[in-house]
């Protein structure tokens, strides 16, 4: 079968934004919202089970239709970000959906207000909805009275949310200037950071120096914003809502026990020498005495190899098929139904993603395929996401989507299947070596870098409470980098401002450890696959099929994995060490 490239088709959702079907969908959703509001008075702790389920099914139907409309707009925008008609449609959809969300909010508020014993009775017969219902109630012990919650909501708009908006506004306006081939360029951050992976060491250094020159200039303001957000986090979550620690707030929304995160971060700290060893190896490849922080993503091998799209698709499907024909078929469905947009086009959104609309609809995948080995890996990654949601299609709309810590499982695993396939079949040694280096580069960026961000956050939240200044926080950050890199990497002073350039630590405190969790989980699973072979496959497939219908802890323990056990996480680290050892055996060909 020869696969070709074309823009995707959205007709499985709607024929167009102004079609009669779209109008009918809006009417239908309005009708259902009115119907659900009418059910409101019948909600009571003693209501019949069937009526309770009917109310949930109605909410599910509303969400399903809302998803179809929202994703039609979002995918249309991604396919052509310059299309003003779709832009206008998208903002109209957004405001209509916000109203719908407000009008249906009463259900979760009521559900949280029930006593445990009352909720338990209703949950007993709730089947696949159960975990979704449980999750809403997780926040009950930390929920305040309705008037208090309202005050927090109102004050957040002009408080923490406003500070986050200001942070985004200030930093998104930044422009960066560097000289490339004698020509002065004005760049966005994204464009600038391309040079962090450039062959030229002077350009790599210039890119980072310019990045932190600009952020450093505003550091007193940006640092003050961070301190304010951290204090707000503490005041609200520890003083008012009685969480045990700043980190525990995030752990509850991820539904990951506190001790698991401590174990995970501890294993990272214990294995820091693996990456330091990799950085020393990289220095040798780059013929440097010592690697500079500027060089950690430097390419070490030049590869000219290109794969046309048909060859790439064949490779990905072959790699998947070898593992299990079922997953290859699910990936192929995305192409067969014309749900993949892979070509590079003017106005099309950059990057790559997989969009899952509802369990019964094949997901849509966007990539910008440019024939490099990296692009093949990205294709495998995004199709992996599509496999994951299709495997979980038997669940409800509320429970088929995997939770954040497990969301990258099938994608990263799919990428590893592809890399393995390439290492086995590709005769060009430069491609094989590029893929190996890429894997460890990615593991650093996803596992270790994020773990150390989380450790910095933990420390910073404590220090801000003790009145630390912005300069003191920067010193602590620099120390964090020195602990991370040891004597393997020279860290120059401007990196003290790196933390004020990380939006995640502002907008979603402690979000970053989910990356560490996800990537180490997959590496560890991959190790089990290598050891167990066939016996591993059904356990892995049922882990994916669970979607988000159970807690991450339960999903993993059903697959025989104890996330409390440091040994499990160490298994992931062992895979990285194995890759580094493999790289160490390659003779330096210069
Ligand atoms: Zn992904």
The tens digit of pLDDT for each residue in 311-323 reads 999 999 999 999 9
How far does the centroid of ligand 1 lie from the alpha carbon of residue 381, in Å? 6
| Averaged pLDDT, 447-461 | 97
User: What is the average pLDDT value for the chain, to the nearest integer?
Assistant: 94
- Pick from 417, 422, 344: nearest CA to 381: 417
| Averaged pLDDT, 88-94 | 91
How far does the centroid of ligand 1 lie from the alpha carbon of residue 388, in Å? 11
Cβ atoms 171, 222 nearer than 8 A: yes
- 273 pLDDT above the threshold of 80: yes
Q: What is the pTM of this model?
A: 0.90
How far does the centroid of ligand 1 lie from the alpha carbon of residue 386, in Å? 10
Cα separation, 103 vs 54, whole angstroms: 17
How far does the centroid of ligand 1 lie from the alpha carbon of residue 560, in Å? 24
Which pair of tokens denotes residue 386? 């599509």
How far does the centroid of ligand 1 lie from the alpha carbon of residue 191, in Å? 21
How far from each other are the two terminal CA atoms of the chain, in whole angstroms? 40
pLDDT of residue 589: 61
How far does the centroid of ligand 1 lie from the alpha carbon of residue 241, in Å? 33
- 145 pLDDT above the threshold of 90: no
How far does the centroid of ligand 1 lie from the alpha carbon of residue 356, in Å? 12
How far does the centroid of ligand 1 lie from the alpha carbon of residue 371, in Å? 19
| Averaged pLDDT, 195-217 | 96
How far does the centroid of ligand 1 lie from the alpha carbon of residue 353, in Å? 7
The length of the chain in residues reads: 590
- Pick from 581, 563, 567: nearest CA to 256: 563
The Cα angle at residue 401 between residues 253 and 419, in degrees rounded to 5: 105
Cβ partners under 8 Å of residue 484, min gap 6: 272, 275, 448, 449, 452
Confidence of residue 483 (pLDDT cuts 50, 70, 90): very high
Orientation of helix 258-270 relative to helix 272-285, angle to 10°: 40
CB atoms within 10 A of CB 123: 19
Confidence of residue 495 (pLDDT cuts 50, 70, 90): very high
pLDDT of residue 82: 87
Higher pLDDT, 34 or 432: 34
Cβ atoms 88, 32 nearer than 8 A: no
Torsion of CA 270, 274, 279, 284, to 10 degrees: 140
- 583 pLDDT above the threshold of 80: yes
How far does the centroid of ligand 1 lie from the alpha carbon of residue 377, in Å? 11
How far does the centroid of ligand 1 lie from the alpha carbon of residue 140, in Å? 31
Cα separation, 550 vs 553, whole angstroms: 8
How far does the centroid of ligand 1 lie from the alpha carbon of residue 516, in Å? 13
How far does the centroid of ligand 1 lie from the alpha carbon of residue 395, in Å? 21
How far does the centroid of ligand 1 lie from the alpha carbon of residue 422, in Å? 20
How far does the centroid of ligand 1 lie from the alpha carbon of residue 201, in Å? 30
Q: What are phi and psi of 338, to 5 degrees?
A: 60, 45
Cα separation, 339 vs 326, whole angstroms: 18
pLDDT of residue 521: 96
Transcribe 77-94 into DSSP letters: HHH-TT-HHHHHHHHHHH
Cα separation, 443 vs 234, whole angstroms: 32
How far does the centroid of ligand 1 lie from the alpha carbon of residue 362, in Å? 17
């Amino acid at each position: 079968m020869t696969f070709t490239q074309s823009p995707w088709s959205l007709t499985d959702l709607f024929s167009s934004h102004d079609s009669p079907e779209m109008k009918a969908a809006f009417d239908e959703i309005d009708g259902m919202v009115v119907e659900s509001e009418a059910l409101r008075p019948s909600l009571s702790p003693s209501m019949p089970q069937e009526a309770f389920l009917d109310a949930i099914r109605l909410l599910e139907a509303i969400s399903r239709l809302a998803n179809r409309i929202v994703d039609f707009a979002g995918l249309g925008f991604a396919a052509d970000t310059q299309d003003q008609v779709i832009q206008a449609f998208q903002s109209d959809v957004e405001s209509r959906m916000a109203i719908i969300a407000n009008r249906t909010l009463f259900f979760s508020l009521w559900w949280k207000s029930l006593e445990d014993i009352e909720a338990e009775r209703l949950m007993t017969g709730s089947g696949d909805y159960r975990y979704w219902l449980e999750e809403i109630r997780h926040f009950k012990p930390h929920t305040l009275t309705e008037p208090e919650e309202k005050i927090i909501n109102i004050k957040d708009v002009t408080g923490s949310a406003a500070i986050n908006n200001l942070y985004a506004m200030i930093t998104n306006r930044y422009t960066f200037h560097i000289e490339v081939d004698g020509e002065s360029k004005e760049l966005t951050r994204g464009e600038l950071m391309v040079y962090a992976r450039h062959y030229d060491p002077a350009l790599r250094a210039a890119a980072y120096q310019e990045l932190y020159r600009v952020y450093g200039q505003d550091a007193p303001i940006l640092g003050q914003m961070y301190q304010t957000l951290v204090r707000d986090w503490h005041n609200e979550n520890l003083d008012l809502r009685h969480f045990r620690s700043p980190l525990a707030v995030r752990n509850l929304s991820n539904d990951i026990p506190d001790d698991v995160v401590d174990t995970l971060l501890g294993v990272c700290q214990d294995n820091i020498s693996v990456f330091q060893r990799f950085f020393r190896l990289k220095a040798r490849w780059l013929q440097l005495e010592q690697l500079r922080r500027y060089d950690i993503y430097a390419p070490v091998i030049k590869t000219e190899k290109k794969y046309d799209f048909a060859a790439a698709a064949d490779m990905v499907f072959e790699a998947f098929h070898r593992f299990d024909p079922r997953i290859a078929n699910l990936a192929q469905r995305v192409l067969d139904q014309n749900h993949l947009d892979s070509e590079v086009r003017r106005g099309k959104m950059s990057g790559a993603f997989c969009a899952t609309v509802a369990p019964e609809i094949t997901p849509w995948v966007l990539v910008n395929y440019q024939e490099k080995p990296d692009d093949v890996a990205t294709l495998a990654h995004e199709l992996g996401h599509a496999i994951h949601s299709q495997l979980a299609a038997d669940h409800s709309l509320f429970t088929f989507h995997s939770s954040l810590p497990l969301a990258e499982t099938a994608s990263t695993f799919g990428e590893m299947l592809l890399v393995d396939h390439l290492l086995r079949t590709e005769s060009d040694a430069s491609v094989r070596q590029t893929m190996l280096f890429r894997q460890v580069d990615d593991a650093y960026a996803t596992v270790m870098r994020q773990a150390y961000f989380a450790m910095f956050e933990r420390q910073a939240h404590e220090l801000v409470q003790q009145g630390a200044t912005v300069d003191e926080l920067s010193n602590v950050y620099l120390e964090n980098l020195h602990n991370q890199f040891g004597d393997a990497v020279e860290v120059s002073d401007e990196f003290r401002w790196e933390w004020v350039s990380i939006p995640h630590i502002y907008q979603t405190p402690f979000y970053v450890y989910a990356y560490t969790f996800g990537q180490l989980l997959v590496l560890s699973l991959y190790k089990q696959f290598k050891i167990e072979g066939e016996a591993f496959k059904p356990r892995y497939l049922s882990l994916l099929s669970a979607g988000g219908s159970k807690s991450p802890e339960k999903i993993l323990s059903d697959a025989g994995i104890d996330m409390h056990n440091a040994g499990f996480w160490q298994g992931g680290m062992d895979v990285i060490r194995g890759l580094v050892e493999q790289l160490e055996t390659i003779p330096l060909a210069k």
